[in-house]
Amino acid sequence: MRFETLAVHAGAEPDAETGAVAPPLHLSTTFRHGPAGERQAGFEYQREGNPTQDRLEACLAALEGGERALAYASGMAAMQGLLESLPNGSEVLIPDDCYTGLRVLAREFLPLRQIACRTVDMTDLDAVRAAMTPQTRMIWAETPSNPRMAVADIAALADIARAGGALLACDNTFATPALQQPLALGADVAMHSTTKYLGGHSDVMGGALVFAKADALYETAAHRRHITGGIASPFNSWLILRGARSLPARMAWHCANARRIAEFLGTHPAIAAVLYPGLASHPGHAVAARQMRDFGGMLSIRFRGGRDAALRFAARVRLFTNATSLGGVESLIEHRASIEGANAVSPPDLIRMSVGLEHPDDLLADIGQALD
């Protein structure tokens, strides 16, 4: 079945009991069992598993082409759920450009579990090879990366990981499975902040892991989630499943709008660089063209006039809203360095844009008036 068809139907079969076409929402925390705990319909207690979360997981596994998926309360819960399922003493290579939460997890929390993270430029395959040690258990890729839009070669990283006896995990939040399928390229786990494009409407928080194989790592992460409790609630699962069903259609419009904006900004004298993998000038364009169906709805721009010019632009836009997060129907912008706080690593002249589903001419008019 093609991706668009899977998105509509996976996990969303009509309810067997009532025939309801829209997936039902089951809020029950507990499920009737027999006198000696015999399960009647496979469920016992919501934290261990529940029908609405099961539907979402079936959908996500199908969309990413994995054997099993686990849904979480947030992208960070999913990330932590995977990284803390590695054995003590593990070393993980993480990208030098990545979502700031991963950097903080690596600095403040994973060391408490004797999991050491080292930063490497994931676009430089020789650097990744050189960074591997016998303790390296996982390479963590994020492509395109947040916020510099660096593109990592997933198939090449999978080969390096395998040769070193390590696993490859890929944060696929920016691309979504509609544009990029890391498991088909050799990754072992795809991770998502489903808060973003999968939910798609800036009204639900969630995360997910999709495993190529229902292996020991999957079992460890599933057991860990059951006991530590970071599940997706039934209502959040239901909203994310609802979002996933229109993902391919939304992504096509996000991509078309972002491309228009990237092309416009690429010729504007106030802009020093447009970081969008769809532009032939982007250093990762060739790899992105090989491993992505399209180039996504995210882009970052750097201003010739530095931080002041970036902040002036952010203050002048009217249709774009200054807000964190991404992947919703409305266009957002953000001066990342301001949001990252004391340990900011984003360049001060950089503005990140999450291009929404408005008409592109209105978005371009807004950008044009803010730059004038």
Residues lying near ligand PLP in the complex (CB under 6 A): 74-76, 99, 101, 142, 146, 171, 173-174, 193, 195, 205, 207, 325
Nearest to 209 by CA among 125, 138, 132: 138
Handedness of CA 356, 360, 366, 369 (dihedral sign): positive
> What is the smallest separation between the CB atom of 205 and ligand PLP, expressed in angstroms?
6
Q: Shortest Cβ contact with ligand PLP: which residue?
A: 75
Phi, psi of 93 (to 5 degrees): -95, 125
- Cβ proximity to ligand PLP: between 46 and 194 the closer is 194
Residues with catalytic function: 47, 99, 171, 196
Cα–Cα distance for residue pair 297/334, rounded to 1 Å = 14
| 321-322 sheet: strands from edge to edge | 271-275, 298-303, 350-354, 332-334, 321-322
Q: What one-letter code names the amino acid at 260?
A: R
Q: Between residues 205 and 210, which has the closer beta carbon with respect to ligand PLP?
A: 205
Residue (6 or 204) nearer to ligand PLP, CB? 204
Q: Are 148 and 300 in contact (CB under 8 A)?
A: yes
Minimum separation from the CB atom of position 274 to ligand PLP (A): 19
Tokens of 54: 């099961």
C-alpha–C-alpha distance, residues 91 and 8, integer Å: 39
Nearer to ligand PLP, 6 or 59 (CB): 59
Q: How far is the CB of 171 from ligand PLP (least distance, A)?
A: 5
End-to-end CA distance of the chain: 48
Shortest Cβ 21–ligand PLP spacing (Å):
29
Tokens 């836009």 belong to residue = 317
